[in-house]
Amino acid sequence: MKDQNLNFLYSPTVVQKKLRLSSGQDRVEQSSGEMTASERDHVIVGCNYFTTGTNTNLFWYKQLPNRSPTLILGQYTTEPDFKKRFSATLNSTSRTFPLVIKNQHVSDSAVYYCALRPTVSGNTRTLYKNPTNK
Protein backbone atom coordinates (compact mmCIF):
# COMPACT_ATOMS: atom_id res chain seq x y z
CA MET A 1 0.00 0.00 0.00
CA LYS A 2 1.32 3.41 -0.96
CA ASP A 3 2.03 5.96 1.79
CA GLN A 4 -0.73 8.51 2.27
CA ASN A 5 0.07 12.15 2.87
CA LEU A 6 -1.98 13.72 5.62
CA ASN A 7 -2.41 17.11 7.13
CA PHE A 8 -1.10 17.06 10.66
CA LEU A 9 -2.36 20.08 12.58
CA TYR A 10 -0.59 21.34 15.64
CA SER A 11 -2.18 24.71 16.14
CA PRO A 12 -5.81 25.77 16.51
CA THR A 13 -5.42 28.70 14.12
CA VAL A 14 -5.07 28.67 10.34
CA VAL A 15 -3.60 32.16 10.00
CA GLN A 16 0.10 32.51 10.65
CA LYS A 17 0.16 33.58 14.28
CA LYS A 18 1.65 32.15 17.42
CA LEU A 19 -0.66 30.60 19.95
CA ARG A 20 0.04 31.79 23.46
CA LEU A 21 -1.48 29.98 26.41
CA SER A 22 -0.78 31.78 29.63
CA SER A 23 -1.39 32.20 33.30
CA GLY A 24 -0.05 35.55 34.44
CA GLN A 25 3.54 35.75 33.25
CA ASP A 26 3.85 31.99 32.65
CA ARG A 27 3.07 30.85 29.10
CA VAL A 28 3.67 28.39 26.27
CA GLU A 29 4.03 29.22 22.59
CA GLN A 30 3.53 27.06 19.51
CA SER A 31 3.98 28.18 15.93
CA SER A 32 0.72 27.94 14.06
CA GLY A 33 0.10 26.22 10.77
CA GLU A 34 -0.13 22.74 9.36
CA MET A 35 2.41 19.97 9.10
CA THR A 36 2.21 17.33 6.37
CA ALA A 37 3.54 13.87 7.09
CA SER A 38 3.33 10.41 5.57
CA GLU A 39 2.28 7.29 7.39
CA ARG A 40 5.13 5.75 9.39
CA ASP A 41 7.02 9.10 9.53
CA HIS A 42 8.33 10.45 12.82
CA VAL A 43 6.94 13.91 13.62
CA ILE A 44 8.11 16.52 16.13
CA VAL A 45 5.70 19.25 17.28
CA GLY A 46 7.41 22.17 18.99
CA CYS A 47 6.53 23.86 22.26
CA ASN A 48 8.42 26.70 23.95
CA TYR A 49 7.61 27.63 27.52
CA PHE A 50 8.30 30.70 29.61
CA THR A 51 7.95 30.69 33.40
CA THR A 52 8.86 32.93 36.29
CA GLY A 53 9.65 29.97 38.56
CA THR A 54 11.62 26.76 38.30
CA ASN A 55 8.85 24.26 39.08
CA THR A 56 6.62 23.64 36.06
CA ASN A 57 4.24 20.96 34.84
CA LEU A 58 3.90 20.61 31.08
CA PHE A 59 1.30 18.60 29.17
CA TRP A 60 0.33 17.64 25.60
CA TYR A 61 -3.28 17.28 24.44
CA LYS A 62 -4.77 15.96 21.20
CA GLN A 63 -8.05 17.34 19.87
CA LEU A 64 -10.05 15.67 17.10
CA PRO A 65 -12.70 17.67 15.20
CA ASN A 66 -15.85 18.33 17.26
CA ARG A 67 -14.29 16.66 20.31
CA SER A 68 -12.85 17.84 23.61
CA PRO A 69 -9.04 17.72 24.00
CA THR A 70 -7.63 14.40 25.24
CA LEU A 71 -4.57 14.25 27.49
CA ILE A 72 -1.67 12.50 25.76
CA LEU A 73 1.07 12.96 28.31
CA GLY A 74 2.42 15.05 31.11
CA GLN A 75 5.97 15.88 31.95
CA TYR A 76 6.24 12.75 34.11
CA THR A 77 3.60 10.32 32.76
CA THR A 78 2.10 9.17 29.47
CA GLU A 79 -1.49 7.97 29.08
CA PRO A 80 -1.65 4.20 28.31
CA ASP A 81 -3.19 4.60 24.83
CA PHE A 82 -0.26 6.79 23.74
CA LYS A 83 2.77 5.11 25.40
CA LYS A 84 4.05 3.20 22.37
CA ARG A 85 4.40 6.10 19.94
CA PHE A 86 4.13 9.44 21.79
CA SER A 87 6.83 11.01 23.95
CA ALA A 88 8.14 14.39 25.08
CA THR A 89 11.31 15.36 26.91
CA LEU A 90 11.66 18.61 28.83
CA ASN A 91 14.76 20.66 28.00
CA SER A 92 15.02 23.23 30.79
CA THR A 93 18.01 24.95 29.17
CA SER A 94 16.23 25.77 25.89
CA ARG A 95 12.82 25.80 27.65
CA THR A 96 11.26 23.40 25.15
CA PHE A 97 8.95 20.41 25.48
CA PRO A 98 8.63 18.95 21.95
CA LEU A 99 6.10 16.20 21.27
CA VAL A 100 7.53 13.27 19.30
CA ILE A 101 5.13 10.98 17.44
CA LYS A 102 6.73 7.83 16.07
CA ASN A 103 5.30 5.78 13.24
CA GLN A 104 2.72 8.38 12.21
CA HIS A 105 -0.82 7.06 11.54
CA VAL A 106 -3.60 8.75 9.56
CA SER A 107 -5.61 8.75 12.80
CA ASP A 108 -2.96 11.08 14.32
CA SER A 109 -4.27 13.96 12.20
CA ALA A 110 -5.56 16.38 14.86
CA VAL A 111 -4.88 19.64 16.68
CA TYR A 112 -2.14 19.31 19.31
CA TYR A 113 -1.88 21.63 22.31
CA CYS A 114 1.04 22.14 24.65
CA ALA A 115 -0.07 23.38 28.08
CA LEU A 116 1.73 24.73 31.13
CA ARG A 117 0.48 24.54 34.69
CA PRO A 118 2.58 26.37 37.25
CA THR A 119 3.13 24.42 40.46
CA VAL A 120 3.59 27.46 42.69
CA SER A 121 1.78 26.82 45.96
CA GLY A 122 -1.50 28.70 46.17
CA ASN A 123 -1.72 29.51 42.45
CA THR A 124 -5.37 28.90 41.52
CA ARG A 125 -5.58 31.05 38.38
CA THR A 126 -7.16 29.41 35.34
CA LEU A 127 -5.14 28.98 32.15
CA TYR A 128 -6.65 30.65 29.09
CA LYS A 129 -5.98 31.00 25.36
CA ASN A 130 -4.67 34.36 24.21
CA PRO A 131 -3.83 34.45 20.45
CA THR A 132 -1.30 37.16 19.66
CA ASN A 133 -0.08 38.78 16.47
CA LYS A 134 3.57 37.89 16.88
- In the chain, domain spans: 13-117
In this predicted structure, what is the pLDDT of residue 36? 84
pLDDT in tens, 54-91: 778 899 999 999 999 999 999 999 999 999 999 999 99
Fold annotation for 13-117: Immunoglobulin-like (2.60.40)
- Cα separation, 35 vs 75, in Å, equals 23
- Is pTM beyond 0.85 here? no
CB atoms within 10 A of CB 124: 5
Q: How far apart are CA 84 and CA 42, in angstroms?
A: 13
